[in-house]
Amino acid sequence: MELEQQFLSLLGIVEGLQRRVYQLEEENKLLIRGQKQLLEWSEQNHQEHLNFQENAAYELYDRMKEPFEGFFPKISSGELAVEEIVNHGKSMARFGDGEFAAIAGRIRHRFQTQVEEELSRKLKETLQSEDENLLVGIADNYGSLEKYTEQAKREIRCYLNPQVRKEHLELLKSEKEYYDAYVTRPYVMYADNQTNAPRRRFDNLKRIWEGRDCIFVEGCYTGLGVGNDLFDNAGSIQRIIGPAENAFSRYQEILDCCLKQPKDKLFLLALGAAATVLAADLSQAGYQAVDIGHIDLEYEWFLRGEGQRTPIDGKYNNEIGEEQKLSLVSDETYLSQVIAEFYGEEISL
């Protein structure tokens, strides 16, 4: 009797296992079917995307035959901007999404976390400046994006929606010649970033400070040239250090300090939106000033050769959301170059 009960118990276990195997087989069939459908959908979506790319030019050409609201800003190349800076002593103020947002009274990047009416006013004034010695840089985003990586294209298309484009065009002038603001961002976003082209672009940029006595106006965590050879060909370097964020809060002090310096100095600016208006004010005062923004980070990424933005220990980057390891620069050469400091406590990121 006991043996029979054990047999029945084992039989029940086997039947249970058989049912479970059957259930797993059915679940596996569903997974295979779902995966197959997903692959079919992916292939179909990819083909539709290719079809769109092949036909888009014809569709757009047909639309362009009809008048459309707005215009394409005239944007000269970054190479031409460098020629103007090197050969004709021009200054340059650059506008990116952060500066346009500040004009509109919005916050877009961490370098400017406060809405300041005076900053908005001065940015708009700079954007519409008629100073012949000042090049106004805007991003070459308004037409073809073929020279950029797929990631960069997605970011630009996401940002430059019809409302934002309309805001820009209301501020820009159809007859004015602008220059490519990406001149100082020659690496990450370009489709040719795994070729020799970025090296040539950096070498061209280095002509700006070749043999020049320079004053860097930068944030306290920027460290232009610290740990790399980007500015090794400069004649000399001095530094005026401002806040890493909301630098416009110390703007007048920084400007006053700059205006005490000799006029043969070349100012290289990396101070967020404050650098844009500082370039204009220094140009008006007879100095040469170039807003170089993220150039040091771009060079660090170029040296790493990964084709993407990555955190650089000790150097502030407002475009990377992850935690950054920041500390004030302690390099002896850097400290010996500092002639003035205008910032408070360290920020916590």
**Which DSSP string corresponds to 195-223?**
SSHHHHHHHHHHTTTBT-EEEEEEETTT-
* 54 pLDDT more than 90: no
Report pLDDT for 165.
93
Arithmetic mean of pLDDT, 89-104: 95
* 63 — pLDDT class (breaks 50, 70, 90): low
Q: Are residues 172 and 122 in the same domain?
A: yes
Report pLDDT for 346.
45
Residue 204 included in any domain: yes
Please answer whether residues 222 and 244 qualify as being in contact, where contact means their C-beta atoms are separated by less than 8 angstroms. yes
Please answer whether residues 188 and 84 qualify as being in contact, where contact means their C-beta atoms are separated by less than 8 angstroms. no
Report pLDDT for 90.
98
Rounded to the nearest integer, the mean pLDDT of the chain is 89
Residue 262 included in any domain: yes
Q: Are residues 321 and 215 in the same domain?
A: yes
Q: Are residues 34 and 78 in the same domain?
A: no
Q: Are residues 108 and 52 in the same domain?
A: no
* 347 — pLDDT class (breaks 50, 70, 90): very low
* 59 — pLDDT class (breaks 50, 70, 90): low
Q: Are residues 83 and 144 in the same domain?
A: yes
Out of 122-131, 168-177, 238-247, 303-312, which region has the weakest mean confidence (pLDDT)?
303-312
* 30 — pLDDT class (breaks 50, 70, 90): confident
Arithmetic mean of pLDDT, 45-54: 76
- State which of 40, 63, 86 marks the end of a domain: 63
Residue 348 included in any domain: no
Residue 164 included in any domain: yes
Please answer whether residues 220 and 244 qualify as being in contact, where contact means their C-beta atoms are separated by less than 8 angstroms. yes
Report pLDDT for 68.
65
* 185 pLDDT more than 90: yes
Q: Are residues 12 and 81 in the same domain?
A: no
Report pLDDT for 19.
82
Q: Are residues 112 and 224 in the same domain?
A: yes
Q: Are residues 10 and 140 in the same domain?
A: no
Q: Are residues 112 and 249 in the same domain?
A: yes
Arithmetic mean of pLDDT, 273-291: 98
* Sheet of strand 213-219, all strands in order from the earlier edge strand to the far edge: 74-76, 177-180, 134-138, 91-95, 288-291, 266-270, 213-219, 236-242, 338-341
The string of pLDDT tens digits covering residues 300-343 is: 999 999 988 888 887 877 766 556 677 889 899 999 999 999 98
* 345 pLDDT more than 70: no
Q: Characterize the bridge pairing of strands 338-341 and 134-138.
A: unpaired
Arithmetic mean of pLDDT, 112-132: 89
Neighbour count for residue 341 (Cβ, 10 Å) = 14
Residue 349 included in any domain: no
Sign of the Cα torsion 78, 82, 85, 88 reads: negative
Report pLDDT for 108.
58
Q: Which domain holds residue 258?
A: 74-341
* 44 — pLDDT class (breaks 50, 70, 90): confident
- State which of 63, 90, 109 marks the end of a domain: 63
Q: Characterize the bridge pairing of strands 213-219 and 266-270.
A: parallel
What is the CA 144 to chain-centroid distance, rounded?
A: 18
Report pLDDT for 49.
74
Report pLDDT for 322.
55
Residue 86 included in any domain: yes
- State which of 36, 63, 90 marks the end of a domain: 63
Report pLDDT for 327.
82
Residue 184 included in any domain: yes
Q: Are residues 103 and 36 in the same domain?
A: no
Residue 68 included in any domain: no
Report pLDDT for 48.
75
- DSSP letter at 128? T
Q: Are residues 8 and 101 in the same domain?
A: no
Report pLDDT for 42.
82
Give the helix/strand (H/E) hosting 239. Answer: strand 236-242
Report pLDDT for 80.
98
* 348 — pLDDT class (breaks 50, 70, 90): very low
Q: Are residues 209 and 266 in the same domain?
A: yes
* 43 pLDDT more than 80: yes
* 150 pLDDT more than 60: yes
Question: How many domains does one find in the chain?
Answer: 2
